[in-house]
Structure 1
Amino acid sequence: MIRTPYPLEADLGMGWYVTDTPGTGGVLRATPEDFQVEEVPLDAPADEGPYLICRLTKRNWEHQHAMKSIASAMGISHRRIAWAGTKDKNAVTTQYISIYGVDEETVAGVHLKEIELEPVGRSQHQLALGGLTGNRFSITVRGCTGPDLRATVEACTAAAAAGFPNYFGLQRFGVVRPVTHLVGREILRGDYRAAVETYVGLAFPDESPEVQETRRTFLETGEPGPAIAALPNHLGFEKAVLSGLAGAPGDYAAALKNLPPKLLSMFVSAYQSWLFNRVLSMRLADGTDLDDPLPGERLLFANGREDTVTEKNKRIVSVHMKRGRCAVALFMPGSEPRESVGRDDERMIALLDEDGITAEDFARAADFVGLRYKGTLRPIAVRADVTAEVVGQDVGLAFSLPPGHYATTVCREFMKADPHAMI
């Protein structure tokens, strides 16, 4: 294993690589076409129902912005659009969305640059997050500088089949400003003012100097008006929060609720993701292999059944893991208290105690954002059958992943590059 040399990854809990190769280096998204994603739907659409199912292909569109633009073009609320998975901006992505109460003619009238919207059927139910079979990726890493590219790619391709750390990638926390988990922590604490100040006021060096200065000024003064005027239009969500604050001074909770519900809910989810990454890195720091089940660890089976590793069942668990029947998993905490069963649970509880967050806080946050956070298990390893090709200084990777797994988590093991080269 190799410890990451990048402070940003360390801050987000992505502390280790499990491969010992030097890395290919290179740039992951020289153009959007270098990162192509195709969603594999869970169910085929039907012929009837109030929800129109559409295949959406977009190039270089931020997900929430695309949905709001599509809704605006149809003259409807963006809350009538739902999806099974959130896709990256700097990419060419194909996915499915459901739109309530519209017909094919309305969709045909949507004309947005680099967006294609094709009706494919109807459904009695809207799409829900996670309601997909998985995603297929076709990725090109350009300008690789690492030594002996072919040997590196071969080694990492073999290792991918065994499993990489199933980290939540940089996109989960914000690409230019990785703050979503910090906002989520403040929401869980019930400190809505701190949540607003973090979301709007925390500046990062990858932003323009003007935007950084506007954020700092807002932190110092607390005045929303000048920030609304100064922030560029592409920061529409920050402006929406500020507009809410201008309309109801001091009501930071109401200001946050000016955000789309799905975006608001992602803050708390990002905090859970941050905890997962940190505990997984602690496990790796112990020198424990991803495929080595330890007594007291949780197990997640392919059919959704849960169990716990014991000294008595450890051998048979190892057999089941090799056959793909189950995986070691970490419990991501939520509103439903669970008994601590092992070292990883103890670490998770210690991190929550450090932040002063309880199960009751998750329940309160669920009421605030409108999404339940019961807690869930997530496998510690992501496995991928990667097809790789080296052409000159470029590396092509093709693979599929289950829902909620990050292609950049696979790519970072190959590249071992600064995370900014992967956004």
Structure 2
Amino acid sequence: MKESPYALERELGMQYYATSTLGIGGTLRTAPEDFIVDEIPLAGKGGTTGPYLICRLTKTNWELQHAVKEIARRLNISHRRIGWAGTKDRNARTTQLISLYKVTPEEIAGFYLKDIILEPVGQSNEQLSLGDLEGNRFDICIRDAGPEDLAGRVAAVCETVSQALPNYFGLQRFGVIRPLTHRIGELILHGDYEQAVVTYVGQAFPHEIDEVRRVRTVFMDTRDPAVALRELPVQMSFERSMLSYLHARPGDYAGALQQLPPKLLSMFVSAFQSYLFNCALSHRLASGQTLTDPVPGDRLIFANGRTDAVTAANLPAVTLHLARGRCTIALFMPGKDEPDAITGNDAIRDILADMQITAEDFRKASTFVRTKFDGAWRPIALRTVVDASVDETTVRLKFTLPPGHYATTVCREYMKADPLRMV
């Protein structure tokens, strides 16, 4: 195990690597084609009838929320009529299914948008929802890696990846250029809608263009939506929708937040849940516990979603189940439903207590966002078989992950580089 030296990773709770090998460095996403993601749909999803048109969406260098909003605009429908199973990377070439309510194949035939392809593949009686997928296949190139014993270092990490890595939520879960989605979620949980809007619109980050940073800073200082509306680029549609609302209804920050697409609004709170998980997982590793060795008080999650507690009495049987891949140790991401009182969640309880956030705050956020935040168990270990090849200073990685697992969590283990070189 090795501690991350990068402040951004530590700030997001990603404090450790599973391996102590020297990182290969390099850069991800030199071009979108260096990061290819193909969604694996659920077997039997869809059919030949129903009001939802299922389309295969292939996009290059598009953030999903913006792509959906632009698709809706071109088709002259509400973005709320579009559903999807998983949120894919922006700086990548990705393929996934989306559902469109009461849209015909003929309308799709006339659709055109640069770097986006829509292909009808069937109909369904149900909208696609988050989690309606088997997983994702990745084909990733890391370029300009350090050449010294490159094949040996890659092979060593491949061995560890097949056993267990910390199952962190990756940087893109919190925002790539502006990693603050979890902070907006925290503010929503506190009911501080004004500060949530001001932070989302006004918090500037170093890697944004200078003009955008300037406008954000002015808004942060003045909270004048009129000035920001005049000067923010038109493509910053989410910020502009909130500012337009505030300009018409001064002081209604709750209403301004609710101008965002529901799925984006819900992602703020779920990003905070992800942050809590990362912090608790790092706390476990810092305490000397491992990803695969159970201790009494741990919680197990099985493939069917069933959970069970580890006790001194069942420890031998649990160890055997873990070794055979029947279950994995899990941590609870809290929500409006509190978990059983078990040792494995002490770190999360302490963090929530420090932040003065309770289950009632999640219940209020559920009402405000109109999304259930029930809480969920998540495996602490990520494991996959990686097909790796090395060509001079380029490393190619092919692997498959279940839903909700992050390819960048795999890549960071090889690279051990500044996280901004992975986005």
Instruction: Please state which band the TM-score falls in when normalised by the shorter chain.
Output: over 0.9
Amino acid at match of 2:86: G
Amino acid at match of 1:376: A
Matched residue, 1:113:
114
- How far, CA to CA, are the matches of 1:146 and 1:191 in structure 2? 50
Q: Secondary structure at the match of 1:295?
A: coil
Matched, 1:345 2:354: no
Matched residue, 1:369:
369
Matched, 1:298 2:311: no
The Cα shift of 1:146 comes to 5.6
Amino acid at match of 1:210: E
The Cα shift of 1:252 comes to 0.3
Q: Secondary structure at the match of 1:71?
A: helix
Matched residue, 2:125:
124
Q: Secondary structure at the match of 2:162?
A: helix
Alpha-carbon displacement from aligned partner over 1:154-198 (angstroms, at most 9, x marks no partner): 001010010110000000000000010000000000010111111
- How far, CA to CA, are the matches of 2:136 and 2:88 in structure 1? 10
Identify the range of structure 1 (140-149 vs 375-384) with the bigger mean alpha-carbon deviation: 140-149
The Cα shift of 1:351 comes to 0.5
Amino acid at match of 1:404: G
- How far, CA to CA, are the matches of 1:303 and 1:146 in structure 2? 43
Q: Secondary structure at the match of 1:162?
A: coil
Identify the range of structure 1 (243-252 vs 394-403) with the bigger mean alpha-carbon deviation: 243-252
Amino acid at match of 1:75: N
The Cα shift of 1:239 comes to 1.3
- How far, CA to CA, are the matches of 1:316 and 1:146 in structure 2? 45
Identify the range of structure 1 (231-240 vs 197-206) with the bigger mean alpha-carbon deviation: 231-240
Matched residue, 1:229:
230
Tell me, yes or no, if the aligned pair for 1:183 and 1:198 is still in contact at 8 Å: yes
Q: Secondary structure at the match of 1:364?
A: helix
Q: Secondary structure at the match of 2:357?
A: coil
The Cα shift of 1:338 comes to 2.5
Tell me, yes or no, if the aligned pair for 1:172 and 1:270 is still in contact at 8 Å: yes
Matched residue, 1:287:
288
Q: Tell me: CA distance 1:181–1:146, structure 2 relative to 1, closer, same or farther (3 Å).
A: farther
- How far, CA to CA, are the matches of 1:299 and 1:61 in structure 2? 37
Q: Secondary structure at the match of 1:122?
A: strand
Tell me, yes or no, if the aligned pair for 1:23 and 1:146 is still in contact at 8 Å: no
**How high is the TM-score relative to the length of structure 2?**
0.98
Matched residue, 2:88:
87
Tell me, yes or no, if the aligned pair for 1:48 and 1:122 is still in contact at 8 Å: yes
- How far, CA to CA, are the matches of 2:257 and 2:418 in structure 1? 32
**How high is the TM-score relative to the length of structure 1?**
0.98
- How far, CA to CA, are the matches of 2:338 and 2:17 in structure 1? 32
Matches within 5 A, 1:6-405: 6-44=6-44, 45-145=46-146, 147-342=148-343, 344-405=344-405
- How far, CA to CA, are the matches of 1:288 and 1:210 in structure 2? 47
The Cα shift of 1:30 comes to 0.3
Amino acid at match of 2:326: R
- How far, CA to CA, are the matches of 1:252 and 1:48 in structure 2? 42
Structure 1 unaligned blocks of 5 or more: none
Tell me, yes or no, if the aligned pair for 1:51 and 1:99 is still in contact at 8 Å: yes
Tell me, yes or no, if the aligned pair for 1:25 and 1:146 is still in contact at 8 Å: no
What's the Cα RMSD here? 0.9
Tell me, yes or no, if the aligned pair for 1:330 and 1:378 is still in contact at 8 Å: yes
Amino acid at match of 2:234: N
- How far, CA to CA, are the matches of 1:53 and 1:393 in structure 2? 40
Q: Tell me: CA distance 1:205–1:227, structure 2 relative to 1, closer, same or farther (3 Å).
A: same
Structure 2 unaligned blocks of 5 or more: none
The Cα shift of 1:319 comes to 1.0
The Cα shift of 1:209 comes to 2.1
Identify the range of structure 1 (263-272 vs 190-199) with the bigger mean alpha-carbon deviation: 190-199
Identify the range of structure 1 (351-360 vs 142-151) with the bigger mean alpha-carbon deviation: 142-151
Q: Secondary structure at the match of 1:399?
A: strand
Q: Secondary structure at the match of 1:8?
A: helix
Amino acid at match of 2:100: I
The Cα shift of 1:359 comes to 0.5
Q: Secondary structure at the match of 1:94?
A: strand
Alpha-carbon displacement from aligned partner over 1:278-317 (angstroms, at most 9, x marks no partner): 0100111112211111110111011111101111111211
- How far, CA to CA, are the matches of 1:322 and 1:167 in structure 2? 21
Amino acid at match of 2:387: T
